[in-house]
Homo-oligomer: A and B are copies of this chain.
Amino acid sequence: MNRPSAPRKRRKEARPSELTAAALALFVEKGFAATRLDDIAARAGVSKGTLYLYFDSKEALFKAAIQEGIIPVVAEGESIVARHEGASIDLLCRLLENYWSRIGETPFAGIPKLMVAEAHNFPEVAQFYYENVIRRGRALLGAALERGVARNEFRPLPVETAIDVVIAPVLMLLIWRFSMARCQDENADPRTYLDIHTSLLRRGLMVTQV
């Protein structure tokens, strides 16, 4: 039969975010299928049964973990674009900078790698992520690029495609940190990396030289 010996504490409020945080960390590390619910529970300091008090299934937990991190950051970017007044290249660099500091240096940094790895297995979650994060994020960069072209600060270029080229190195930096980085004895300094990228963009995009 059963001998539930140690119900430690009861904290209904704090649980959900503790559980999604533990789940996110392990999903990012091992992938969805290779992560055991027992491990998530252990990491959160609860038992497996507790997970089912707050989430209907492993997949529901996955969705919640993804959604946790993405709510505030895009909105912040939208306000940056709305308020900006100086050179377009500075707007573009601020957006990249903001993405890095608000995602890249937080526990949510692993989400892009997780989405890339699991998109096929969770088309519904991928679609949600695409609509609410990627589409809106691309719109931000697109606005900055359009602005630069319209004001003759940037050379004319196919904006929709350029968006992807501009964001790719930042995404790749994130993804790398959560995948192959362990194999390298010495990893690039993110600061230097971003500086190189933005300086290439300055010289590469702009009509006049800096």
Contacts and interface: CB of A to CB of B under 8 A. Distances in A.
Nearest to A183: B130
A31 B193 contact: no
A30 to B, nearest CB: 6
Interface residues on A, range: 35 or more
B113 A116 contact: yes
A34 B179 contact: no
Interface stretch (A40-48, A74-82, A86-94, A165-173): A165-173
A105 interface: no
B34 A180 contact: no
Given A33-B31, A175-B175, A184 B117 contact: no
Contacts of A31: 31-33, 117-118, 120-121
Count the copies: 2
Given A30-B120, A172-B171, A197 B130 contact: no
B33 A116 contact: no
Interface in A160-210: 160-162, 164-165, 168-169, 171-173, 175-176, 178-180, 182-184, 188-189, 192-193, 196-197, 199-205, 209
A188 to B, nearest CB: 4
Nearest first, the 7 closest Cβ-Cβ pairs linking A and B are: A200-B204, A33-B33, A117-B117, A168-B172, A130-B183, A204-B204, A168-B169
Interface of A: 29-34, 113, 115-121, 123, 126-127, 129-130, 134, 157-158, 160-162, 164-165, 168-169, 171-173, 175-176, 178-180, 182-184, 188-189, 192-193, 196-197, 199-205, 209
